[in-house]
Amino acid sequence: MPSSSSSPPRVPVEERLFSLVLALLATETGLTKSEVLSTVQGYRQRYSASGDNASLERQFERDKDDIRELGVPLETVESPGDAGNNQTLRYRIPKGAYDLPADVVFSAEEITLLGLAATVWREGSLSAESRRAIMKLRSLGVESDEPILGYAPRLRVRESAFEPLSVALERRTIVQFPYLKPGESASRLRTVAPLALIQHQGRWHLHGTDQDANGPRTFLLSRMVGRVTLTNRTFEPVGTDFAAHALDELERIWRSNLAEIEVVPGTDAATRLNKRYGDHAPGNTRLSVNYSDLNIIADELASYGPEVVVLSPPHLRERVRSRLAATFAAHDDTAGEGSDG
């Protein structure tokens, strides 16, 4: 087995994309795919002059899509007398088409603030989007203000599953994770081709194709009870707008489930739930609550104890009652004590 020291150093994706943009900007005639793969930082480290570069070529195809999504005008130029030959096709970015409009100018301070805004969402959060934003800012060619670069706030998501799932999304890699469904005593290993990470009502979800069920499924990250593992299997997504479709479905489910609850005036439940569901009128105690997950809303309402009464639907009322009964039993010191008569 080869030692890890023989492996080429990993180049971060934003550095590879930035190097690609710079290389394609620097040439008037463009670069062929072979020239890109053998010379540009992030590709050349893995390029083999006599070996199989199929995976590297697929990476280049994805990177072309990424920089086009940034609004970079990537052009393809066919070789004269050799039309239709992809091996002699040349790629370039016409500098004039990528320059900022003459009336748009950023100062060094503005570039720095934009860069800080992008770095807020870094590893473990919206990594792909933030990386592309940072690369776009760097490509403007304006030096940033060094004194305030030491402060870079970061927002992190609670679930540890987010980071490996975001990596899997970028690489189009199938993942596996143990998932515990409500009402089940043991988790089950799920194998999923990830299509989108989405946030709905403050909770993160993974939308993907369940390989065992052979169909689309949406999973709560908070119910992934073990490590997310990236397999060595890749896939090509079929379709578009996965996040939008998944959000539409979650929103439809959320709107179709409605609970009527009564809160005790002046309590923590009244204050918190009124802000989210009520009309903020003084003394308002009856609220209509939409929800997308029966067990999550039951957990939340039960956490308020006697400050909340569920009026409907009956199945939610029963779920809350059973949670309260279980809590009472767990704290009942008299349970199991006998009488001496």
pLDDT tens digits, the chain, 341 residues: what are they? 444 445 566 677 777 888 888 888 877 788 888 888 988 888 888 888 887 888 888 889 888 888 887 778 888 888 776 666 667 788 988 876 666 666 766 676 776 666 665 555 444 444 444 455 455 445 544 444 443 334 344 444 457 888 899 889 988 999 999 999 887 889 999 999 999 998 888 788 999 999 998 899 999 999 999 999 999 999 998 888 898 999 999 999 999 999 999 999 888 888 888 877 765 555 678 888 899 899 999 999 999 999 999 999 999 999 999 999 988 888 876 655 554 54
* Contacts for 270-279: CB closer than 8 Å, 24+ residues apart: 270/307, 273/304, 273/308
Total domain count, the chain: 4
* Residue 113 maps to a domain: yes
Q: How does 51-80 read in b/e, with b if 16+ C-beta sit within 10 Å?
A: eebeebeebbeebbebbeeeebebeeeeee
For residue 135, what are its two tokens?
């690369």
The three-class DSSP label of residue 233 is strand
pTM for this entry: 0.54
DSSP state of 150: T
Same domain for 135 and 197, yes or no, is: no
Cβ pair 234, 171 in contact under 8 A: yes
**Contacting residues for 122 by C-beta, under 8 A, at least 6 apart:** 130, 154
Cβ pair 207, 195 in contact under 8 A: yes
* Residue 247 maps to a domain: yes
The full 3-state SS of 281-333, as one line of letters, equals: CCCCCEEEEECCCHHHHHHHHHCCHHHEEEEECHHHHHHHHHHHHHHHHHCCC
* Residue 94 maps to a domain: yes
Q: Of 254, 284, 300, which residue sits at a domain end?
A: 254
Same domain for 267 and 213, yes or no, is: no
Same domain for 86 and 126, yes or no, is: no
DSSP state of 25: H
Q: Of 98, 132, 162, which residue sits at a domain end?
A: 98
Give the domain extent around 90: 8-98
The domain spanning residue 27 has which CATH number?
1.10.10
